[in-house]
Structures are given as C-alpha cells and as structure tokens.
Amino acid sequence: MSEDQNVRNIAGEATSFFDRPNVQKEVIPVGDGVPFGFENVMNTELGIGGVYGTWGPSYDNETLPEFIEDLTGEPIRESETMNLTELGFVSRHHTPKLNVDEHRELEFEVGERLLRQALSVNGWDPADVGGLLIGVTAPVADDYVVQLAQRVGLPDDALKVTMHKACDGAMGALHLTLNPELSPPGYPNIAEQLQGKKVLVGGIEGLSRLISVTEDYDVHALQLFGNGAGVVGVIPGESMKFLVGKSHENFDKDGALKVRMYYPYSGERVPGSSLLEVSQAGPEHIRFAGLMPEPDDGKSIEMAGLMGMVKLFVRTGVQVASEVFQDYQVLMEKLGQSGKSLKMAVIHHANYKINLLISKQLQKGGIELPMPWVLSDFGNISAASAMIAFLRQLQDINLGDHVLLDGFGAGTYYDVLAVSFG
C-alpha cells in the first residue's frame, strides 16, 4: 500500500472516539459536566485485559480552529495551520475551560474510573494487586499515582511508581516492570519484586490541561495534542514475559521539543550521568523524573517544528530499535528458535510521518515489522498512545506471539523491548 493510500485510509477510518460502537460514555460532574468515554479490552487466551479512553469534547480537523480561537482569543493564522490529516490525526479531545481545582478533581475522577475498569476487566480484587506504575508527563498532583491507588483500594504495601519521561512514560513503566536490569542501584529491584504479581501499568495524560495552563500558547501543540489514557493488567513472567530490551537517553540539547517540568526535580544532575532522577517519594512510592529542555518564555510546550521532531526521534529511534531487534535474533538463535519472528511493532504515535520514516529506515536495514496505525481519533496523547495502540491490537495477539513495544519521548528517552505472551 502506498503512503498516499495509507494517509487516505487513516483519514477515513475514525471520527470521534466517542462514536466507536463499544465505547461506554459518561459525564463527569465537574464544571458544566465533562464527557468521558472508555473502551474495555480483554484477551482471555492471554489473560491480559485493560481499558483506554479520553475526556472532553471531541474536535475534528474542521472544528479545531474554532476551539483554538475561543481559547486564545484570536484566529489561527494560515501559516500556523498544520496538515493534521497528513500527520494521521482526524480528531482529538480537549478539556473545557476549568479552574485549577476543577482540573484536579476531573483528572482524579478520570484516573479512578479507569483503574476500576481495568481491575474489573481483569477480574482482579484490588487487595490482590502488587503494583501500580503510571507514566504521566504533567501530573495534576505530585502524589497522583499514590492517591489513585488509595481511591481504588490497592494495598498500602503495593508498589507505586510514577514515571515522568514524557511520551515514553508508559513504555518506560512497562519496561521497568519486566526487565530486572533496569532498576536503579540503592532501590529494590522492581521487576523482581513484581514477578508473578498482578500489576496495573499505563499512561494517563491530560495534555489539554498542560497546553492551556498559560496564556502564552503554542498553537502547534494545541493542534497536535489531546487527552487520553490507557491501563493494562499484566502478571510479569506469566501473562507477559520479557525477552530483550534497551532503555536509552540522549539529551535534546537543541530543544526541538521543549516541555515544562511540572513535577519534582532537583536539577542537580552530574555531567554525564543519567537524565533520570530517581527518588523515594513516599512509602512504597518511587518517582522517576526525567530532565527536559524547558521553554524560556513561560509556555508549557514549545515545538521547533515538525522537521525538528523528525530529526529528534527518527535517527536515534531507529538505532535503538535496530539494536533490540538484533539482540532478539541472537536470543532466538540461542534458544533454538531462529525461525521465530516478531508479529508486530507497537510504537508511540508521535505522528504518522514519524512512524512511517521509522518503518522505512528499519526496512533499509533489513528489518520488516508491521507497525499498525490505529490512533487517528486521539491526536498525540504522549505516554498514553503506545499503551492504547497495544490495547487496540490485543485481540490479534495469540499465545506464544512475540511483539516489539517501542516508546520514545521528549527529553529524549527511548524504551524498546520485545515480549512474549503466555
């Protein structure tokens, strides 16, 4: 299928997420009422289920300029208008104007409802859950994950992990859950501690709030980003098993994508050390806070342009994915399964052009991986995107399948891992 055909198919396959047949809809009583929708997914063969959804009114590419004009008080200039269809997005959800307390109440309601649904889909008693790991770019509260755990009745001694690695947050959290080599020195080995336990992992991103908390708006960000969340239930070592993986950091010194750090970070980074600052944020709560290039002018997000994002993510992203693919092949040969192949690659949906370039560059290196595009009705939803993409592919995964999971985000951070099921 040609690139143009792919773009046309994307444009025609989805409108509002709320229009999908299996989406359950509610109105959260905050402000004048905020629409909320979610879809449950369960693969009984694998024993893996989850939930994903979004909140706020839906805006397609035709109605989006009206929303931006209402928010900023001025019409969007033609020179600032993005070709969103070509980028793979036809719809996204934005939060209405709310005050600080209302935003806080809304996102706690959203998180609690999603976690309760994830528990229900998997048939889990909250008291039996051993861990909750959530990726979030700009939390509405520093202890967001801890409060969510308390709200849904998780045990006090359940491990709570907050992962601030922008768009890589959820994949970074899942990688940490499965790969025992990633735990930082001086802390319990998270993967070993969670082995065989029931664990909830996901990304919850109120990006509409993030990009509208100041009056100095980035118009490109208002067009590209939206709200979204996805949470999956896994039992590490049983329903999902780690094969190979790599976590990589490469500071974006040019600031192609700047994001304000609305989370605790001391800034006392030793030159040449990790960009991640790990801290014991409370009993059974560990925070991973990633260093970001931040805007200088008060904006929450500042984009240097789409070409800057392409250069930022594609070259290093292809390098990391290629290295993990090679490690996978070595492992399969070692296990006497050299004929085994990866069924697909589920990657962060920064935009269709970036993913297409990643796919083409991998092909040039002899790596053929199906990369299904399935999030045209969300916009870029940062850490939530790869998790939602995984949940939308979950029914097509069978026992024994191997899948590549690929997260990348501003900062920049990369988490690529191959996993097996059952």
HSE-CB for 397 with a 13 A CA cutoff: 31
Provide the number of structural domains found in the chain: 1
Q: For residue 331, how many other CB atoms are within 10 A of its CB?
A: 15
Render pLDDT for 61-119 as a digit per residue (tens, 0 to 9): 999 999 999 988 889 998 889 999 999 999 999 999 999 999 999 999 999 999 999 99
Q: Does residue 232 contact residue 391 with C-beta atoms inside 8 Å?
A: yes
**Contact assessment for residue 342 and residue 404, using Cβ atoms and an 8 Å cutoff:** yes
CA–CA gap between residue 291 and residue 278 (Å, rounded)? 11
Q: pLDDT per residue over 369-392, tens digit each?
A: 999 999 999 999 999 999 999 999
User: In this structure, what are the phi and psi dihedrals at residue 338, rounded to the nearest 5 degrees?
Assistant: -60, -20
Structural contact between residues 319 and 412, judged by C-beta atoms closer than 8 angstroms: no
**What's the distance, Cα to Cα, between the start and end of the chain in Å?**
33
pLDDT of residue 298: 77
Average pLDDT, the chain: 92
Residue 316, C-beta contacts closer than 8 angstroms, at least 6 positions apart? 248, 250, 408, 412, 414
Phi and psi at 301, nearest 5°, equal -135, 140
Contact 191, 12 (CB under 8 A): no
As a whole number of angstroms, the distance between CA 396 and CA 294 comes to 40
- Which residues constitute the domain of residue 92? 3-421
Residues 6+ apart with CB under 8 A from 43: 49, 394, 395, 397
Cis peptide before 412 (omega within 30 of 0): yes
pTM of the model: 0.95
Angle formed at CA 421 by CA 418 and CA 422, multiple of 5 degrees = 150
Instruction: Decide: 172 and 184 in contact? Cβ < 8 Å.
Output: no
Write the DSSP string, 370-406: ------TTT-B-THHHHHHHHHHHGGG--TT-EEEEE
Enumerate residues 6+ apart whose C-beta is below 8 A from 248. Answer: 316, 320, 413, 414, 415, 416
How does pLDDT run across 232-284, given as a tens digit for each residue?
999 999 999 999 999 999 999 999 999 999 999 987 665 666 899 999 998 99
CATH number at residue 179: 3.40.47.10
| Residue 204 contacts residue 145 (beta carbons within 8 Å) | no
Q: Kindly report, residue by residue over 173-223, the tens digit of the pLDDT.
A: 999 999 999 988 888 899 999 999 999 999 999 999 998 877 678 888 999
Instruction: Classify 344 as helix, strand or coil.
Output: strand
Length of the chain: 422
pLDDT of residue 422: 87
